[in-house]
Every structure is written in C-alpha cells, then in structure tokens.
Amino acid sequence: MQSGAKKNIKDNYEDIAENLSSDYDVIISLKQCTPVIEEADVQKISQCITRSYNISKYSVVTLQKITDITKVNKEIKKVNFFLTYKLSTKCH
C-alpha cells in the first residue's frame, strides 16, 4: 500500500456500529481485520467517503448521508471492491 495519511484512532466505542449509524445513514463495511485502512487511499475512491477508522479489531468505512439510492449502491460496490483488494491479505 502507498504510504499516506494514516490515522490511528483509539477505539472509544462500546458498540461501534451503533455509534457510527447515529451519524451516518450508510455503513459500508465492518470487517474483523488488522487495521490497515489508509485514509488517503480511501479518499481517492469516492468523494462521498468522509471518514475512515483504524480500530483494534475492526476496519470501518462510512459514507456520508446520500438520498439517491442508485448513487449509494454504486459507491458501495466501489468501496467494497477496494476493501476486498486492500484487506485481502490482512483479514482473518
């Protein structure tokens, strides 16, 4: 992976999914992986990406609120492809 703006954000959530869904309509992926998401690389995939988290057990990518479901579906496909490609060697 390219070296980029890596962020190590401490896991302060007791329930990660619940906390994220309170701010976002769409949660793209919650995978039990080694934390390897690089925010700079994620940002290249879609302008809709607003946050990436490096968390001890989970790599989480969220999309900001989008009303057009067609656009949401397209972004999910792109991001899921990216995650599968980037994390395939790191996931359990």
Q: Which residues contact 50 (CB under 8 A, 6 or more apart)?
A: 24, 62, 63, 64
Share of the chain above pLDDT 70, in %: 0
DSSP secondary structure string for all residues of 7-58? -------SSHHHHHHTT-SEEEEEEEB-S---HHHHHHH-TTEEEEEE-SSE
Residue with tokens 């995978």: 31
Residue with tokens 């991001």: 79
Q: Which residues contact 80 (CB under 8 A, 6 or more apart)?
A: 28, 29
5-34 pLDDT, tens digit each: 334 333 443 445 455 444 444 444 444 444
pLDDT category, 53, cuts 50, 70, 90? very low
In three-state secondary structure terms, 71 is helix
Report pTM.
0.17
Domain boundaries, the chain: 16-87
What is the pLDDT, as a whole number, of residue 25? 42
Q: How far is it, in rounded angstroms, from Cα 16 to Cα 59?
A: 11
pLDDT category, 77, cuts 50, 70, 90? low
